[in-house]
Amino acid sequence: MNSKPLRVLVVDRNHVRAAIIEEGLRHVDGVDVIIVDDLSLLMRRVVDADPDVIILDLENPDRDMLEHAFQVTRAIRRPVAMFVDTTDTALTEAAIDAGVSAYIVDGLRKERVKPILDMAVSRFNAVDRLKRELESAKSELAERKTIDRAKGILMRSKGLDENQAYQLLRKTAMNQNRRIAQVAESLVLSFSILNDEDPK
Amino acid sequence: MKANDGRVISAGFVPLVDSAMLVVAREMEFAAQEGLDLRLVREASWANIRDKFAVGHFDVAHMLAPLPIAINLGLGPVNTDVVVPMELGLGSNAVAISLDLARTLSDIGAIDANDPASAANSLAQAARLRARARTGRQRLVFAVVHQFSSHFYEMAYWMAAAGLAPYRDIDIVVLPPPLMPDALASGQIDGFCAGEPWGTLAVGRGAGLILTRKANIWRSGPEKVLGVRRDWAEREPDCLAALIRALYRAAIWCDEPANRPLLASLLAQPHYVGLSVELLTQVLQRRIGNSSDPVLRDDGFVFSSGAVTFPWVSHALWFYSQMVRWGQTAASGDAMMVARRTYHPDIYRTALSPLGVPMPAANAKLEGALRTQTPVGTPTGRLVLEPDGFFDGLIFDPDNVADYINRFAVHTRISSTVR
């Protein structure tokens, strides 16, 4: 190692994501990571940490405040938005798509920062993917419950067994070019209206 | 999402009341009638708008009126060329101060909110008192929404009339407007300038009072504009013209008093502004401010009347004059030309001529010359321009920008004399 470690400040109210990014950055050589998840007195924390790189998510409404403070305050070295160096358009776009913004102390060599940003971008994407998977698991569970209710209705009102009830739902879905869950939902809804029940 | 086969336009916006024209153009289908599929993307900061605009995620965006000029002058971190073919109505900014500062001011003399000159003088005295104070902060801190915002330039113009230069004599911080009432209550800041409802909310929470309003400083300065990527504007002139027509119809719709309750409920949706319908209704019905200042002049939100959507070149040049005055950019003929060619009345005229919209004959005007509502001759009919005066009676002549800049004794210019 020929130079002192870079201090990377990660600002994120999402504790889980902050932890995942921190874990990733620990594997990048020559990096010290500091996490800020409490945004009150954010500027004070930035001044105290004296970071070389600041990473924050695009949902953070404090970006305008930080950018202004970086320009006018003398208490910190002046970080600049990573977009100053637009030579690496691909990285800039990847960062924006992932929802990351970064500020880098002026004069820092680009090759030292790139692995940090690459890691941050890939971890942001990983968290996003996890979130989507969780959401789809949740909705799958809800769909399965609805299909079970629809099967129960068919079994009671038409005297079918479970397999027959499922086959009927499946056939209807195929004929109507809809998903089984959608057919099940319509059935549960119609049944509850006819019987004055709350469909939930 | 509505089914729509129109040309897709991607537009970024910040959740503020003056995003109304964009929201209405989509929701009331003015955009769809023009064959457009206007997709609105909500953003948490102006920095996001700027960055996503620069990488091409947005074709157009809701922008602070001076921001496109700052971007084109290279004052921000990105290199993009932005054109402004339309302004997005008049806002309703207020300068609010903490109760603590209000007490100091009332010790100095009665506060008359309709006399911005005396309010500024009292503020300057308070700043001098504070500088000599043995306890607490020695400098007043005022918050604005962004360094390149009309809020900043208006507030600075007003304070400077009493000798206060922003940054030199008073600290300026940037805060998201929803945080301003709390920051005022906690003593983090002594005052702020923001669009409504934030001033009213600060008063309602007992955190402060309104010292003056935008309408008392510069009557007709624009708040937000439509920023358009220059390359997109050149590639898709028909699409842009269609968008301007849709926004123009949306503006007329927004100004119809009967539509204001529906406008409030459209904006209240969480994916738009996300404030309560009650609060938005109050703001849009102009029932704003507290009862103790009923005479405080306030024009409320104006979206279409008086040609307020017309992108006056004189507006762009006034912002440029203040950027030079406060040392944000050096004065030069080139820089002035950049500011001048940021605002594009020609695109506005071409887009709206099929609608027979009455339009001013000129692209620039003397700012501050109209004391009252003034009918002007236009090629297509009669148009009444709203008063546009500055509180100190000065007139800005867009053909004589250097002299205008030089006459200000209070400034933090980069060079002492502008030629």
ipTM of this predicted structure = 0.88
Rounded to a whole number of angstroms, the distance from the CA of A168 to the nearest CA of chain B is 31
* A186 and A88, same domain (yes or no): no
Helices B150-160 and B313-325: angle between axes, nearest 10 degrees: 60
The residues that bridge with A157 in the sheet, in sequence order, are none
* Residue A199 within a domain: no
The domain that holds A150 is classified in CATH as 1.10.10.10
* Residue A200 within a domain: no
Identify all chain A residues contacting B54, using CB atoms and an 8 Å cutoff.
83
pLDDT in tens, B262-282: 999 999 999 999 999 998 988
E strand spans, B107-207: 141-144, 171-174, 191-195
* A61 and A119, same domain (yes or no): yes
CA distance B285 to B256: 11
* Residue A170 within a domain: yes
The domain that holds A34 is classified in CATH as 3.40.190
* A126 and A143, same domain (yes or no): no
Q: Which residues contact B379 (CB under 8 A, 6 or more apart)?
A: B359, B361
Return the residue of A nearest to B177 by Cα: A61
* Residue A1 within a domain: no
Q: Which residues contact A15 (CB under 8 A, 6 or more apart)?
A: A37
A60 touches chain B (CB under 8 A): yes
* A111 and A22, same domain (yes or no): yes
Provide the pLDDT confidence category of residue A198 given band limits of 50, 70 and 90: low
Does B7-90+222-325 match B93-216 in CATH topology?
Answer: yes
Domains of chain A: total: 2
For B5-52, the DSSP string reads -SEEEEEEE-SSGGGHHHHHHHHTSHHHHTTEEEEEEE-S-HHHHHHH
Does residue A40 carry a pLDDT above 90?
A: no
Please report the number of interchain residue pairs, chain A to chain B, with beta-carbon separation below 8 angstroms.
63
One-letter amino acid at B369 equals: A
pLDDT, residue B304, reads: 84
pLDDT in tens, A118-173: 888 888 888 888 888 888 888 889 999 999 999 999 999 999 999 999 999 999 99
For B256-292, the DSSP string reads -GGGHHHHHHHHHSTTTT---HHHHHHHHTT--S-TT
Q: Please identify every stretch of chain B with a pLDDT value under 70, giving residue numbers as ranges.
A: 1-5, 286-299, 379-381
pLDDT, residue B216, reads: 84
pLDDT, residue B62, reads: 97
pLDDT, residue A199, reads: 55
pLDDT, residue A86, reads: 56
* A73 and A16, same domain (yes or no): yes
Q: Which of A64, A69, A92 sits opposite B47 (nearest CB)?
A: A64
Joined together, the tokens standing for residue A66 give 């930080």
Provide the pLDDT confidence category of residue A82 given band limits of 50, 70 and 90: confident
pLDDT, residue B294, reads: 39
One-letter amino acid at B29 equals: E
A28 touches chain B (CB under 8 A): no
**Which structural domain range is residue A141 located in?**
136-194
Return the residue of B nearest to A66 by Cα: B174
B146 touches chain A (CB under 8 A): yes
CA distance B330 to B33: 45
A72 touches chain B (CB under 8 A): yes
* A124 and A140, same domain (yes or no): no
Could you state, in order of their start, the residue ranges of all structural domains in chain B?
Answer: 7-90+222-325, 93-216
The residues that bridge with B377 in the sheet, in sequence order, are B382
Class of domain B7-90+222-325: alpha beta
Question: Over pLDDT 90: what percentage of chain A?
Answer: 34
Identify all chain B residues contacting A86, using CB atoms and an 8 Å cutoff.
78-79
* Residue A154 within a domain: yes
Determine what percent of chain B falls in helix, strand and coil, rounding each to the nearest 5: 40, 20, 40
Q: Which long-range contacts (CB under 8 A, 24 or more apart) does B200-205 make?
A: B200/B94, B200/B282, B200/B283, B200/B288, B200/B289, B200/B290, B201/B279, B202/B96, B203/B96, B203/B289, B203/B290, B204/B290, B205/B181
Contact assessment for residue B384 and residue B374, using Cβ atoms and an 8 Å cutoff: yes
CA distance A76 to A63: 16
B139 touches chain A (CB under 8 A): no
CA distance B158 to B41: 34
Tell whether domain B93-216 is in CATH 3.40.190.10: yes
* A163 and A127, same domain (yes or no): no
Backbone φ/ψ region at A159: left (φ over 0), alpha (ψ -120 to 50), beta: left
Counting Cα atoms < 13 Å in the Cβ hemisphere of A131 gives 10
Joined together, the tokens standing for residue B45 give 């900061």
pLDDT, residue B61, reads: 98
